[in-house]
Amino acid sequence: MAANLPASRPHVGSVHPMPSDFALKTMNAVHRVIRGVSFGRLGWTGLNMPVLELTTTGRKSGQPRTVLLTSPVQEGNTYVVVASRGGDDTHPAWFLNLRDNPAVEVTTRDEGHRAMRARIADADERARLWPLGVKDHQNYAGYQSKTTREIPLVLLEPID
């Protein structure tokens, strides 16, 4: 039967569509509900990585925007997050927000809530940190293979 298919027809299921904004927001909302109903006991790890809550200032609205992210690498009090958006060709909104306004708030299980500064890793930092992030978390390497954009790494650093 497969011989009757036109040669140009892609195999069904071979294309993995990027999650919609609605799907991403829904996943974040479900994650928050789990944290809330467990009184903060659950939801602080994901895929064997710490989860943090990042609050940026909306670049268009000026309103606080909060998202839950995993951090595959931590160095001292600095958290590294990956602006992958699942390998989409566009940057996530939270990345665009902190690019325009690097003053952010970060909440973690161990350190609670604190003001931090976001900084996009330069080429040398990315070259050093990317292998550390994908060593135990291959999903990020898979995301990079889905897109032509270089997925940025963001360093969230404490304000002293």
Q: What is the CATH number of domain 43-158?
A: 2.30.110.10
More confident residue, 24 or 109: 109
More confident residue, 33 or 80: 80
Q: Average pLDDT in the 134-141 region?
A: 84
Q: Average pLDDT in the 141-145 region?
A: 87
Residue-averaged pLDDT of the chain: 80
Q: Using alpha carbons only, what angle is made at residue 55 by residues 113 and 102, rounded to the nearest 5 degrees?
A: 105
How sure is the predictor about 7, in pLDDT bands with cuts at 50, 70 and 90?
very low
How sure is the predictor about 100, in pLDDT bands with cuts at 50, 70 and 90?
very high
**Neighbouring-strand partners of residue 116:** 104, 158
| Residue 41 scores a pLDDT above 80 | no
How far is it, in rounded angstroms, from Cα 119 to Cα 123?
Answer: 12
Q: Using alpha carbons only, what angle is made at residue 124 by residues 120 and 127, rounded to the nearest 5 degrees?
A: 90
- 91: Cβ–Cβ under 8 A, 6 or more apart, which residues? 83, 85, 149, 152
Query: With contact defined as beta carbons under 8 Å apart, do 137 and 49 qualify?
Result: yes
Beta strands (DSSP E) in 35-152 are 45-46, 49-57, 64-70, 73-75, 78-82, 103-108, 112-120
**78 burial level (CB within 10 Å; 0-12, 13-18, 19+):** middle
Q: Choose the weakest-confidence range: 9-23, 40-54, 86-100, 118-132.
A: 9-23
